[in-house]
Amino acid sequence: MARALFTWDTRHPGGVSEWAQTLVDAADADEASAVAADVRNYLPGPEYWGRLGDYGTRQRIEVESVVVPSTWWTAIAQAAPGQLPADAAAFTIVGVRQRAGTWGEQEMRTSRRISFTVFIACPAVDPCVLLRISRPDSPLE
């Protein structure tokens, strides 16, 4: 999920909506519109995507850690009955976002540390589904 969220290439003809759709397709049907809003916090908007495309900008993430946040157990204990799916889980991901592109004839690279939490549900019979994604750099601790 982290790689799907952070790995994109503006040189790809599909545009930003194609990258976003991959994550929305992995969302729980009841949460798809909320997940789409969450994804918009991570991907450039269409106008900015076009500007980045002028530089052949591409991005990826180097995941450093994936952990269940310690406050997740408190959230489960405090949740009202039925508020969280019984098979829900949370994972906080920490990594480094790597971007590269070309300015004139010079290759440019930037990196930035990033952290976020993904909330998923893994029913016994069905594949796991994405419930929500925290705002960038606002993970569950």
pLDDT in tens, 25-74: 999 999 999 999 999 999 999 999 999 999 999 999 999 999 999 999 99
Query: What pLDDT does 125 receive?
Result: 82
Instruction: Compute the distance between CA of residue 135 and CA of residue 114 in angstroms, rounded to an integer.
Output: 11
Q: What share of the chain is helix, strand, coil (3-state, %, to 5)?
A: 30, 35, 35
Q: How confident is the model at residue 136 (pLDDT cuts 50, 70, 90)?
A: very high
Q: In terms of C-beta density within 10 A (0-12 exposed, 13-18 middle, 19 or more buried), how is residue 13 classed?
A: exposed
* DSSP secondary structure, 62-100, as one string: EEEEEE--THHHHHHHHSPTTTS-TTEEEEEEEEEEEEE
Going from N- to C-terminal start, the domains of the chain cover 2-133
Query: What pLDDT does 122 receive?
Result: 93
CATH architecture of the domain with residue range 2-133: Roll (3.10)
pTM (2 d.p.): 0.91
At position 65, the amino acid (one-letter code) is: S
